[in-house]
Amino acid sequence: MAKIFITGGAGFIGSTTSERLLKEGNDIVTIDNFNNYYDPKLKEENLRIVENCAKQYHRSYQCIRGDIRDKEVMNKIFEENNFDAVIHWAANAGVRPSIEDPLFYVDVNINGLMNLLECMRLHHVKKLVFISSSSVYGNNKKVPFSEKDPVDNPISPYAATKKSGELLCYTYHALFDIDVSCLRYFTVYGPRQRPDLAINKFTRLMLEGKPIPMFGDGTTSRDYTYVDDIVDGTIRSLKYTIDHQDVYEIFNLGGSHPISLKGLIDVIANTLGITPIIDQLPMQPGDVNITYSDYTHAKNLLDYEPQVRIEEGIRNFVDWYKKENGYE
Ligand SMILES: NC(=O)c1ccc[n+]([C@@H]2O[C@H](COP(=O)([O-])OP(=O)(O)OC[C@H]3O[C@@H](n4cnc5c(N)ncnc54)[C@H](O)[C@@H]3O)[C@@H](O)[C@H]2O)c1
């Protein structure tokens, strides 16, 4: 049992992981600013579910509505609590919008992380799980992607902020003995997925009978990873970081079964029983050709093994989406 500080706890992955942490007997304090990157009502709903879960399992759960860049708020949280560990999800998370507003991405993803690392240093909190992204691999030619591959060529400001975050975490590990696991998530999907991401967007458009914007010829591939597998890998890495000394590790958390964009559209269409209308558009800047994880390192150190294949995961997502949106 641990007391954990979570940033971005009202979001898609933060809220899903919080439920598991509470069920396993941990207490949580979270900070989230409920920004309007997507409809904040969805985050309020996530929060309500997590609060109910805390009640059901008799755990302590507190959500502070604030910004990770706010020094005063963050310091107060660390002054009032004695945390065993931190999981840092709060970030500006989209690839394409980071090209439109790079300064905002740097402000939240780098300055926000620095504010957190400083609070950890000042308040002697020594265990951190930092959420990075497969986007750090850019257009890596070698597949699958390994943590040993060079990641010096990010092709979006978002990816560059995540790589910078990994470096800053290393610096705080080296200087101040903060143990860190950096998790490179590969495109995460499942119930509560952000509405800006492909699976959610395509499902909505198909159900509304609208065309699906397909950027490129449909051959770009993504290693989609089901949220329960991501939750499992994240909690395994948290335990590893808490239980070991002198940790600085980078872990790929992926499903290792990339699927093409056209293949993904087909799986969603088959699940919905709908013939999709496809609107083919040029490739978007910042988009990589393929993501494909080699998760051997996470398997060896964490015993991480993803369980959910795309057909099953999409079925779960579609069932959830239809229920949430009044389709059944
Ligand atoms: N979803 C994916 O496929 C994916 C893949 C790789 C990495 N990641 C990373 O995982 C993390 C969570 O992603 P998600 O899909 O759950 O996104 P999300 O947007 O649903 O969750 C992020 C949460 O952080 C909060 N937040 C953002 N800026 C904040 C700030 N300045 N102060 C306080 N709270 C703030 C948001 O309100 C939101 O609730 C992000 O760091 C993202 O970069 C996600």
pLDDT in tens, 255-293: 999 999 999 999 999 999 999 999 999 998 888 899 999
Q: Determine contact, residues 303/253, Cβ cutoff 8 Å.
A: no
Q: What is the mean pLDDT of residues 1-18?
A: 97
The confidence score (pLDDT) of residue 286 equals 83
CATH 3.40.50.720 fits 3-189+225-254, yes or no: yes
Q: Which atom of ligand 1 is nearest to the CA of 93?
A: 43
Q: Which residue's CA is the closest to the ligand 1 atom numbered 19?
A: 11
The confidence score (pLDDT) of residue 32 equals 98
Q: For the full predicted model, state whether its pTM sits above 0.95.
A: yes
The angle at the Cα of 203, spanning 308 to 183, to the nearest 5 degrees, equals 45
The fraction of the chain above a pLDDT of 90, given in percent, is 98
Q: Is the pLDDT of residue 3 over 80?
A: yes
Q: Is 199 in the pocket of ligand 1 (CB under 6 A)?
A: no
Q: Helix, strand, coil % (nearest 5) of the chain?
A: 45, 20, 35
Q: Is 189 in the pocket of ligand 1 (CB under 6 A)?
A: no
Q: Is the pLDDT of residue 328 over 80?
A: no
The confidence score (pLDDT) of residue 158 equals 98
Q: Is 254 in the pocket of ligand 1 (CB under 6 A)?
A: no
Q: Is 43 in the pocket of ligand 1 (CB under 6 A)?
A: yes
The confidence score (pLDDT) of residue 285 equals 87
Among residues 188, 279, 195, the alpha carbon closest in space to that of 228 is found at: 188
CA distances from 124 to 6, 108, 176, 299 (A): 16, 23, 9, 30
- Could you say which of 61, 105, 137, 158 is catalytic? 158
* Residue 226 bears catalytic tag: no
Q: Is the peptide bond before 144 cis (omega within 30 degrees of 0)?
A: yes
Ligand 1 centre to CA of 5 (Å) is: 15
Give per-residue pLDDT as tens, 186-210: 999 999 999 999 999 999 999 999 9
Q: Is 184 in the pocket of ligand 1 (CB under 6 A)?
A: no
The confidence score (pLDDT) of residue 287 equals 86
Give per-residue pLDDT as tens, 206-258: 999 999 999 999 999 999 999 999 999 999 999 999 999 999 999 999 999 99
Ligand 1 centre to CA of 176 (Å) is: 26
Give per-residue pLDDT as tens, 107-153: 999 999 999 999 999 999 999 999 999 999 999 999 999 999 999 99
- Residues 6 or more apart from 52 whose CB is under 8 A from it? none
The fraction of the chain above a pLDDT of 70, given in percent, is 100
